[in-house]
Amino acid sequence: MNFTSFPTNNKYLWATIILLLTCVIYIPLFTNGFTNWDDNIFVTSNELIRSFTWSNIFTWFTQPFVGQYQPLVLLSFALDYSINGYDPLIFHITNLLLHLVNTFLVFRFIDLLFKNTFIALFTSLLFGIHTLNVESVAWITERKNVLFTLFYLWSLLCYLKYLDKNKFKYFLYTLILFVFALASKSAAVTLPVILVLIDYTYKRAHFKRLIILEKLPFFALSLFVGIFTIIAHQQYGALTNATGYSFFMRALISSQALIFYFEKLFLPLNLSAYYPLSSNLKNSLPELIIGFILIYGLIVAAVILAFKKKNRFILFGLGFFIINLALFIIPAGVPVLTTDRYAYVPFIGIFLIISYGMELWITKSSTLKIIGLSLVFIYISTLSVLTFNQSKIWNDSITLWNNVISKTGETSFPLMKRGIAYRHLDDFEKSLKDLNKSIELNNKYPVVYENRGYIFLLQKDYQKAALDFEQALKMDPQSAYSLCNLGLCSLNLEEYDKALTLLNQSLEIEPKNAYALKTRGKIFIALDQMDNACEDLHQSITLGLSEVNEKEAKELIKKHCIDKETTNN
């Protein structure tokens, strides 16, 4: 069989085999649940996805969500929820289906761009099964990554058809799909530059008036969304520099992230959902400078060499990689070295270069072909096993954070997240151990105090609980959660006026918080304000409480409100 020129009627069979292999190695997703790393924010505690009301739809499309404009992500979650509520299987299946579509689009894009089926298939194979991509697929919250990639690649595919067929409808499709990509994740702003890169690959005259005018709406949209995202990020606090390092230092650190990616490209071992940034990197300044010069020097040298050789495969691959990684390579302020998900789109360019190199290898001689294909088999088999096992790590919060801690050591953030997970499992001993250790390592996370305070509250140690909620409020004065629970502490300490003040403040921030309304109802009972108490308790049930809280609210209504209502009737 000629591995470098598949017959046209066979290439879709090979593409189907790649998709089936990708699906098989992601089988662990079908038994995975939600995790406490933002899945609660985006899904399990997100009231915006529970119904298709005009109010929710209006909010999706007119307001940023957690610092980003992502209405199509919220729409996709709402569709999943409409099928079977909070069934994690539905959400995981959707993520996997999107990844499978993306894998096929990678094949179609490369095949149409370079008219080389072998390179297109091998690129899509690496994209489909590479272990670095597990985070984007297995993490439900990263729906935004797989969703924006679908529209991004589809848009590029339409642009290629526009260039090949010179029909305006394909240009219009390109623009519409670009808008959809932007409405999924702002990382799509790089697409206009990729269009220019495609023009270069097609040897189009870049400064012709028509070609310049073509790109104007794309660059205008990118500029608008880019500015909007920066403002939304600032308002949400996502751009706050929590690394403790200057921009210069973070630029130097970016070289370590690049080294990390190239290491994990070939042997993706010891992957983690969280790679904490060391706090003493200033002591390694000479090594950082050397690493920066070496890694960026090699990339620049590779680009120059590809220009001289006029090698369109390497030029396009490097350009695609650099352009798409540029947004993420310098940490914006989060104290992590990098994340696996940042490589999802950029590595398409690197996979292209590897595929091109593999084609050169196996066409040299029959001996090299045998060696090359044997190495490919070993590499693909290794990636498949690693990806299968990595998918299991996202089974639940405990498995996720156990893996992080085993790979990166005990640091504050993972301990906090695991402690919260144990708290939700009512394993208070393990939870307190993790939360105490997290505070010992870093006492700047208000959510750690909130969760530890809640455990003390459940254990009826109201003094300790109050101290933790007060500490959390010093760091986040607008925390409705802390205000509510501090009010509950005050209620149990019989400080009724203080409790009422705190609950009023909490409900000013979150007027439809059912738990806060139930708590204020209890305070009104203690103050003998039964009309107010009954109103709050009834409203809390209407808004939706947990089973335990709803039972308590109904018992309170039965005890304090039924007789009055009967008399009035």
Q: What is the pLDDT of residues 500-530, one digit of tens each?
A: 999 999 999 989 889 999 999 999 999 989 9
Give the angle subtended at the CA of 446 by the CAs of 440 and 450, to the nearest 5°.
95
Q: Output 375 or 134, whichever has higher pLDDT.
A: 134
**Taking residues 469-476, what's their average pLDDT?**
93
**Taking residues 262-287, what's their average pLDDT?**
85
**Taking residues 529-552, what's their average pLDDT?**
88
pLDDT at 213: 87
| C-alpha dist (Å) from residue 117 to 1, 8, 45, 123, 253 | 14, 8, 45, 10, 38
For residues 413 and 36, the answer to whether their CB atoms sit within 8 Å is no
Which helix (H) or strand (E) segment is 541 a member of? helix 530-543
Write out pLDDT tens, residues 381-393: 999 999 999 999 9
Task: Say which CATH architecture domain 410-503 belongs to.
Answer: Alpha Horseshoe (1.25)
For residues 15 and 124, the answer to whether their CB atoms sit within 8 Å is yes
The most confident of the ranges 17-21, 423-427, 551-555, 563-567 is: 17-21
Residue 67 pLDDT greater than 90, yes or no: no
Residue span(s) of the chain under CATH 1.25.40.10 come to 410-503
- How many Cα atoms sit within 13 Å of 319 on the Cβ side? 20
Rg of the Cα atoms in the chain: 27
pLDDT at 287: 84
> d(Cα 111, Cα 134) in Å, to the nearest integer?
24
Q: Phi and psi of 271, rounded to 5°?
A: -75, 150
Residues in the chain: 569
- How many Cα atoms sit within 13 Å of 327 on the Cβ side? 21
> d(Cα 98, Cα 76) in Å, to the nearest integer?
11
**Taking residues 30-45, what's their average pLDDT?**
93
pLDDT at 238: 57
**Taking residues 196-204, what's their average pLDDT?**
88
pLDDT at 306: 86
For residues 327 and 339, the answer to whether their CB atoms sit within 8 Å is no
Write out pLDDT tens, residues 379-429: 999 999 999 999 999 999 999 999 999 998 899 999 999 999 999 999 999
Residue 4 pLDDT greater than 60, yes or no: no
Residue 267 pLDDT greater than 50, yes or no: yes
Q: Would you give the distance in Å from CA 433 to the centre of its chain? A: 28
For residues 500 and 519, the answer to whether their CB atoms sit within 8 Å is no
Q: Output 35 or 365, whichever has higher pLDDT.
A: 35
Q: From its phi and psi, is residue 265 left (phi > 0), alpha (psi between -120 and 50) or beta?
A: alpha
pLDDT at 25: 97
Residue 11 pLDDT greater than 70, yes or no: yes
Q: From its phi and psi, is residue 272 left (phi > 0), alpha (psi between -120 and 50) or beta?
A: beta
Residue with tokens 């914006």: 332
Residue 38 pLDDT greater than 50, yes or no: yes
Torsion 285-288-292-293 (CA) sign: positive
Write out pLDDT tens, residues 294-313: 988 998 998 898 888 888 99
pLDDT at 354: 95
DSSP state of 336: B
- How many Cα atoms sit within 13 Å of 263 on the Cβ side? 11
| C-alpha dist (Å) from residue 103 to 22, 123, 126, 272 | 9, 9, 9, 23
Contacts of 141 (CB under 8 A, 6+ apart): 37, 38, 39, 41, 42, 43
> d(Cα 136, Cα 98) in Å, to the nearest integer?
10
Classified as helix, coil or strand, 181 is helix
Which helix (H) or strand (E) segment is 77 a member of? helix 71-84
For residues 541 and 553, the answer to whether their CB atoms sit within 8 Å is yes
Start-to-end Cα distance in the chain: 87
**Taking residues 355-370, what's their average pLDDT?**
84
Q: Which amino acid is at 124?
A: S
**Taking residues 302-325, what's their average pLDDT?**
91
**Taking residues 363-383, what's their average pLDDT?**
86
For residues 148 and 184, the answer to whether their CB atoms sit within 8 Å is yes
pLDDT at 568: 42
Write out pLDDT tens, residues 226-259: 888 888 777 666 556 566 677 778 788 888 889 9
Contacts of 266 (CB under 8 A, 6+ apart): none
**Six token digits for residue 454:** 């809640």
Q: What proportion of the chain, given as a percentage, has pLDDT over 70?
A: 93
Contacts of 510 (CB under 8 A, 6+ apart): 480, 516
Model confidence at 261, in pLDDT bands (50, 70, 90)? Answer: very high
**Taking residues 456-463, what's their average pLDDT?**
93
**Taking residues 315-341, what's their average pLDDT?**
84
> What's the whole-number average pLDDT of the chain?
89
pLDDT at 332: 64
Q: What is the value of pTM for the model shown?
A: 0.90
| C-alpha dist (Å) from residue 530 to 353, 515, 537, 556, 563 | 73, 18, 10, 11, 11
Residue 5 pLDDT greater than 50, yes or no: no
Model confidence at 569, in pLDDT bands (50, 70, 90)? Answer: very low
Q: Phi and psi of 336, rounded to 5°?
A: -130, 155
pLDDT at 241: 58
pLDDT at 1: 38
